[in-house]
């Protein structure tokens, strides 16, 4: 019995070599359009789909394989009645379907793509072929990714694809078409006209989110040993956000802390190091060199830094690695590493070393809640980060150095869990108060962490002060200048306390809660 393979691929990588191996195994080749042309140019005997259907490509290629002569041969069970029905109509069986789809996701990712161009990249026939072959996996194998060519060709050469492999390939095909449809639905939803009251420049929150995640790693446990845990990534992403270069497997809590440290470090333009413990910065600093930034970040809270997570926003050099190697930390993450620096860090057997790949992030934040999910755009505001957009409300004006420290502390503050208070001096944190139920408690905690270093430092608060007590507590610790959003009904009372204590205060106008 002759076996047949149908090819219809957008991505031609590996095509000819794979088809050659199938031909050598005695499989008849059928192909559509440009795929048939490429195989014929390579000298392979190939039967064009129009020879089966009796129709040429129609509508500029929109219709090529949507025909009973194609889908009958794919969907037929290998039972006497189905095979007899095919024979009555002179239709051959098709045993292997090799299809990859038009590059819709890549097309719409390009800047300025027109809707009409995007629509033309919506594959119809390819999706139908994949679903038909996947449905009939008991008899038909389906291949939707060139990465599977080698193992499929090898299995066929060794006697055929096992039932379990066909089922696995079918599952992959169904997931592939689901992700494809979700990408199309998401794109078209984004093209809907904005509501009349929509704020310009804001990320559109769609009426429906079709979420497809693929599991990357099963962990020993989740946040605690009695909980299961796994890492998933958005299906269809070109690659992982991080490449692990060394060390033990990442845990659930490792990934949580890495997320906080990576986002904090990359939020700064100057060389910056962020040291995170339990999702909060215990030290963060910017400096002229990465080594200096790390030293200053560590000095913020060296006790809490023990066993922490370090992320930097520059290529990690040997000078910085030498300093890091003196401290026990769980993870070091950087966009790149000098060879000597990487070699030095790898001497620590259990240190997890990760490289950020530069994979694009997603504009929305999703958090599961009982019965559903909360969705918001990421906190990536820019205007309030520039002190030129602030309003100085105190009688005393800030100096240039003081203003620079306030801007630094304000940027750090949005990476600290609420209620968030940041003490800073010289573009480095000296004390952080995070996650307290009372804002004045966060002020006192930051002061406790800072000790004598709080004298003359500045303070940032992620939300307004509802009472003057927080200002008074900061003054007791020696804070000289404050930035906060403002907006309390007691702002005048708070400003009066600032002036009475001889402090500087500016309102940023933007709140940065992080729960």
- pTM for this prediction: 0.74
172 vs 102: which has the higher pLDDT = 172
pLDDT band at residue 236, thresholds of 50, 70 and 90?
A: low
452-487 tens-digit pLDDT: 999 999 999 999 999 999 999 999 999 999 999 999
Note whether 63 and 80 are within 8 A (CB): no
- Dihedral sign from CA coordinates of 39, 41, 45, 48: positive
- Cα–Cα distance for residue pair 79/65, rounded to 1 Å: 24
- Cα–Cα distance for residue pair 173/178, rounded to 1 Å: 9
Question: 342 vs 257, 310, 322, 355, CA distance in Å?
Answer: 21, 14, 10, 11
Predicted pLDDT of residue 83: 86
Percent of the chain with pLDDT over 70: 96
484-494 tens-digit pLDDT: 999 999 999 99
Whether the bond between 419 and the residue before it is cis, its omega within 30 degrees of 0, is yes
Is the pLDDT at 441 greater than 50? The verdict is yes
Select which of 82, 135, 172, 246 is catalytic. 135
- Cα–Cα distance for residue pair 359/220, rounded to 1 Å: 26
Predicted pLDDT of residue 421: 97
Predicted pLDDT of residue 196: 45
For residue 9, which of 140, 139, 120, 103 has the smallest C-alpha distance?
103
Same fold, 4-190 and 385-507: no
For residue 42, which of 61, 26, 29, 57 has the smallest C-alpha distance?
29
DSSP H/E element including 24: helix 15-24
For residue 402, which of 412, 413, 387, 417 has the smallest C-alpha distance?
387
**Residues in Cβ contact with 440 at an 8 Å cutoff, skipping those fewer than 6 apart:** 467, 469, 470, 473
Q: Which residue has the tokens 């992030």?
A: 361
pLDDT band at residue 46, thresholds of 50, 70 and 90?
A: confident
369-421 tens-digit pLDDT: 999 999 998 898 889 999 999 999 999 999 999 999 999 999 999 999 999 99
| SS3 (DSSP) at 460 | strand
309-329 tens-digit pLDDT: 999 999 999 999 999 999 999
Question: 225 vs 25, 216, 229, 232, 279, CA distance in Å?
Answer: 51, 20, 9, 19, 19
Query: What's the 3-state SS for 82-118?
Result: HHHHHHHCCCCCCCEEEEECCCHHHHHHCCCCCHHHH
Instruction: Report residue 45: phi and psi, to 5°.
Output: -75, 120
Is 176 in the active site? no
Is the pLDDT at 9 greater than 90? The verdict is no
- Cα–Cα distance for residue pair 279/514, rounded to 1 Å: 11
User: 147 is written with which tokens?
Assistant: 């990465």
Instruction: Work out the average pLDDT over 261-267.
Output: 95
Neighbour order of strands in the sheet with 96-100: 46-48, 28-31, 4-9, 96-100, 141-143
pLDDT band at residue 201, thresholds of 50, 70 and 90?
A: low
- Cα–Cα distance for residue pair 475/503, rounded to 1 Å: 8
Predicted pLDDT of residue 157: 85
Note whether 426 and 474 are within 8 A (CB): no
Per 3-state DSSP, the chain is made up of helix, strand and coil in percentages (nearest 5) of 40, 20, 40
pLDDT band at residue 197, thresholds of 50, 70 and 90?
A: very low
Is 135 in the active site? yes
State the CB neighbour count (10 A cutoff) for residue 178: 13
Distance from chain centroid for Cα 204: 18
Distance from chain centroid for Cα 310: 19
Q: Which residue has the tokens 């100096």?
A: 399
322-375 tens-digit pLDDT: 999 999 999 999 999 999 999 999 999 889 999 999 876 777 888 999 999 999
Note whether 440 and 489 are within 8 A (CB): no
Residue spans per domain, the chain: 4-190, 241-356, 385-507
Q: What mean pLDDT is reported for the chain? A: 89
Query: What's the 3-state SS for 114-145?
Result: CHHHHHHCCCCHHHHHHHHHHHCCCCCEEECC
- Cα–Cα distance for residue pair 294/273, rounded to 1 Å: 5
Predicted pLDDT of residue 433: 96
Pick the CATH number of 385-507 from 3.40.190.80, 3.40.140.20, 3.30.40.10, 3.40.50.300: 3.40.140.20
pLDDT band at residue 204, thresholds of 50, 70 and 90?
A: low
Note whether 503 and 481 are within 8 A (CB): yes
Predicted pLDDT of residue 289: 97
Is the pLDDT at 186 greater than 80? The verdict is no
* Region 4-190: CATH code: 3.40.50.1380
For residue 64, which of 74, 54, 50, 75 has the smallest C-alpha distance?
50
Predicted pLDDT of residue 2: 72
**Residues in Cβ contact with 392 at an 8 Å cutoff, skipping those fewer than 6 apart:** 398, 504, 505, 506
For residue 206, which of 359, 379, 377 has the smallest C-alpha distance?
377
Q: List the single range of 110-124, 198-212, 385-399 with lowest mean pLDDT.
A: 198-212
- Specify whether domain 241-356 bears CATH 3.30.429.10: no
Percent of the chain with pLDDT over 90: 56
Predicted pLDDT of residue 283: 96
Note whether 49 and 64 are within 8 A (CB): yes
Give helix then strand counts, H and E, for the chain.
Answer: 19, 21
Select which of 82, 278, 346, 348 is catalytic. 278
């Amino acid at each position: 019995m002759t076996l047949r393979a149908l090819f219809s691929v957008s991505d031609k990588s590996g095509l000819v070599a794979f088809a050659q191996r199938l031909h050598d195994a005695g499989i008849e080749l059928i192909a559509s359009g440009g795929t048939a042309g490429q195989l014929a140019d390579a000298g392979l005997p190939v039967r064009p789909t129009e020879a089966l259907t009796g129709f040429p490509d129609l509508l500029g290629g929109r219709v090529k394989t949507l025909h009973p002569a194609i889908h009958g041969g794919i969907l037929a069970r290998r039972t006497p009645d189905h095979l007899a029905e095919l024979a009555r109509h002179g239709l051959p069986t098709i045993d292997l379907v090799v299809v990859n789809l038009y590059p819709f996701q890549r097309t719409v990712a390009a800047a300025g793509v027109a809707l009409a161009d995007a629509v033309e990249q919506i594959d119809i026939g390819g999706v139908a072929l994949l679903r038909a072959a996947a449905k009939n996996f008991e008899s038909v194998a389906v291949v939707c990714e060139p990465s599977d060519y080698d193992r499929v060709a090898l299995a066929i050469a060794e006697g055929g694809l096992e039932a379990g492999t066909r089922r696995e390939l079918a599952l992959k095909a169904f997931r592939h078409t689901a992700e494809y449809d979700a990408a199309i639905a998401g794109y078209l939803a984004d093209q809907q006209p904005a509501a009349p009251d929509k704020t310009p420049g804001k990320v559109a929150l769609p009426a429906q989110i079709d979420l497809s995640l693929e599991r990357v790693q099963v962990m020993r446990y989740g946040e605690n040993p009695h909980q299961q845990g796994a890492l998933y990534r958005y299906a269809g992403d070109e690659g992982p956000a991080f490449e692990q270069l060394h060390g033990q497997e990442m845990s659930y809590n490792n990934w949580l802390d890495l997320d906080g440290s990576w986002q904090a470090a990359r939020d700064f333009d100057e060389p910056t190091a962020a040291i995170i413990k339990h999702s909060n910065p215990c030290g963060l600093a910017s400096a002229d060199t990465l080594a200096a930034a790390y030293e200053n970040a560590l000095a913020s809270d060296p006790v809490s830094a023990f066993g922490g997570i370090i992320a930097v926003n520059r290529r990690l050099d040997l000078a910085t690695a030498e300093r890091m190697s003196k401290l026990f930390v769980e993870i070091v993450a950087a966009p790149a590493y000098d060879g000597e620096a990487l070699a030095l860090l790898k001497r620590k057997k259990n240190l997890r070393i990760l490289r950020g790949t530069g994979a694009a992030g997603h504009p929305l934040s999703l958090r599961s809640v009982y019965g559903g999910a909360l969705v918001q755009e990421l906190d990536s505001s820019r205007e309030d980060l520039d002190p030129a957009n602030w309003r100085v409300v105190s009688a005393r004006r800030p100096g240039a150095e003081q203003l620079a420290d306030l801007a630094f502390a304000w940027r750090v503050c949005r990476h600290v869990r609420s209620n968030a208070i940041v003490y800073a001096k010289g573009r480095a944190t000296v004390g952080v108060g995070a996650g307290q139920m009372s804002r004045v408690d966060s002020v006192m905690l930051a002061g406790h962490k800072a000790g004598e270093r709080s004298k003359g430092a500045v303070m940032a608060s992620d939300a307004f002060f509802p009472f003057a007590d927080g200002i008074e507590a900061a003054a007791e610790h020696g804070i000289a200048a404050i930035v906060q959003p403002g907006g309390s009904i007691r702002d005048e009372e708070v400003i009066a306390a600032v002036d009475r204590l001889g402090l500087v205060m500016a309102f940023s106008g933007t709140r940065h809660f992080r729960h």
